[in-house]
Amino acid sequence: MLRVGVLVSGGGTNLQSIIDHVENGKITGASIEVVISNNANAYALTRAKNHNIPAFCVSPKDFPDRESFNDALLAKLEEFQLDLIVLAGFLVVIPKKMVERYPNQIINIHPSLIPSFCGTGYYGLKVHEAALARGVKISGATVHFVDDGTDTGPIILQKAVEVKEDDTPETLQRRIMEEAEWKILPQAIQLIADKKNQEE
């Protein structure tokens, strides 16, 4: 069984997709053991609690410095003996020591076709604003392993989505979520679960 932890900061629609896939059997061999947010008000925490998944806020605001926050986050993760950590809209920089502790065990969903519109400063609606400003005809989403860069780790899955003439950043964001993110993130978890379960 692949033990999964999900890190979130916002609404949690990607988390909800993972929960739904596990609950309706579209993801097998994996269990969501914990959800952690840096934001106490993240609706994603409510989604976890609604499904009886342990949910915690570990916020940088509650620590005197970044190093002690990083240590607290790592300590909380260690409690759950995780095989995979999923960044689902997690807006905190992942500390190098966390990447080293979980090599090729952290994945991220990014709302563009990496290497386009990614890296420092490209998050949330900013990604879609940049895509529309550039005039691309397709965009999409990417699931990749997290390394010590920003959106630079090995790509696992991508899915293209059409950009429409009258798109706003909001309409493009929604379409990419519906048609790409909510599909390829669960698919990536299933690929990793299958690999682990075959090795056992």
Q: Among this protein's residues, is 110 annotated catalytic? A: yes
Which residues, including other chains, have CB under 8 Å from residue 123's CB and lie 6 or more apart? 91
Binding residue count for ligand GRF, defined by CB under 6 A: 15
Residue that has been written with the tokens 């920089």 in this structure? 93
Kindly report whether the peptide bond that precedes residue 115 is cis, defined as omega within 30 degrees of 0.
yes
Residue selected from 6, 14, 47, 151 as contacting ligand GRF according to rule CB under 6 A: 14
Give min distance, CB of 16 to ligand GRF, in A.
8
Q: Is there binding between residue 111 and ligand GRF (CB under 6 A)?
A: yes
Residue selected from 48, 84, 85, 88 as contacting ligand GRF according to rule CB under 6 A: 88
Give min distance, CB of 78 to ligand GRF, in A.
24
Long-range CB pairs of 172-179, under 8 A, 24+ apart, other chains included: 172/128, 172/131, 172/132, 172/139, 173/111, 173/124, 173/125, 173/127, 173/128, 176/111, 176/128, 176/139, 176/140, 176/141, 177/13, 177/14, 177/111, 177/141
Q: Is there binding between residue 11 and ligand GRF (CB under 6 A)?
A: yes
Give min distance, CB of 159 to ligand GRF, in A.
12
Nearer to ligand GRF, 108 or 190 (CB): 108
Q: Is there binding between residue 185 and ligand GRF (CB under 6 A)?
A: no
Residue selected from 5, 89, 140, 186 as contacting ligand GRF according to rule CB under 6 A: 89
Residue selected from 4, 18, 44, 188 as contacting ligand GRF according to rule CB under 6 A: 44
Residues found in the chain? 200
Q: Is there binding between residue 13 and ligand GRF (CB under 6 A)?
A: yes
Write the DSSP symbol of residue 22: H
Among all residues, which ones are annotated catalytic?
110
